[in-house]
Amino acid sequence: MMWFGAYVLAGAFVGVLAGLLGIGGGMTLVPVMAALFAAQHFAPDHIVHMALATCMASIAFTSGSSVREHLKFDGVDFNIVKRMTPGLVLGSLLATSVSAWIPQRHLALSFAVIVFFGATQILLNKKPKAARSLPSAGPLFFVGLVIGIIAGLVSAGGAFLTIPFMLWCGVPMKKTIGTGAMMGIPLAVVGTIGYIISGWNVPGLPSDAVGFISIIALVGIVCGSVVTAPFGARLAHRLPVPILKRIFACLLYVLAAKMLWTYW
């Protein structure tokens, strides 16, 4: 029960961030879950795999609640979703389904490098100027494939890459956030399936695990985030969000550094 409470608290923290800053919780949550799993002495060689898988599964729920709000304001471009999602889904499936064969240390280091990049992007708060229009279906599929692979490696919904790409292609800001969240749902669902497949026959995982996903931890995360996300959304209208984003970027630096220190 104590550990379930810790999962709920972790989910509550991520829920506030999701509502406040409009970001997914994967990059923030993975190091926290890895530390919680390590404290319980779960399969030592697969702690990072479990953390990535459980966080990936939680993204489908957090993105779903975000998309519902954006749909109310016509904030999703379904033409982009239709053209990019196949690549995103395939990339996520590729990255997650082979994760069992990637050494834990390599996964942790890849996570840290990509999170450092994401944190720097948030810290600088640079929005790329529109340089062109959206490419045709083929290039969009390839871009989606690359983003899906990266997102699968760090258990993110991909918005930290899809949103800058869409802005660069001239998509209005109001459309990019909702569209990015929408594409994050199938990416997370398929990524979750990939982590289930790759961890299905791995020995030594806890009894509640389905593949690499801890069901108890997933339930706790979802319970916490669902309660606090609306609170975070309300705070967004009262607090200086640009300053909070810088604080969040610094937090990501700390968490990524911890992963480097632990698994170097």
* DSSP H helical ranges for 40-103: 47-72, 78-97
**Positive or negative CA dihedral for 1, 15, 262, 150?**
positive
The whole-angstrom separation of Cα 90 and Cα 166 is 19
Pairing of strands 213-214, 209-210: antiparallel
Q: What ranges do the domains of the chain cover? A: 2-263
Q: What is the DSSP string of 203-221?
A: TT--TTEETTEEHHHHHHH
Phi, psi of 214 (to 5 degrees): -85, 110
> Given this model, what pLDDT does residue 246 score?
76
CB 220, CB 10: distance < 8 Å: yes
47: number of Cβ within 10 Å: 23
**Within the chain, which residues score under 50 in pLDDT?**
none
pLDDT at 81: 92
For residue 220, the model assigns a pLDDT of 94
For residue 128, the model assigns a pLDDT of 57
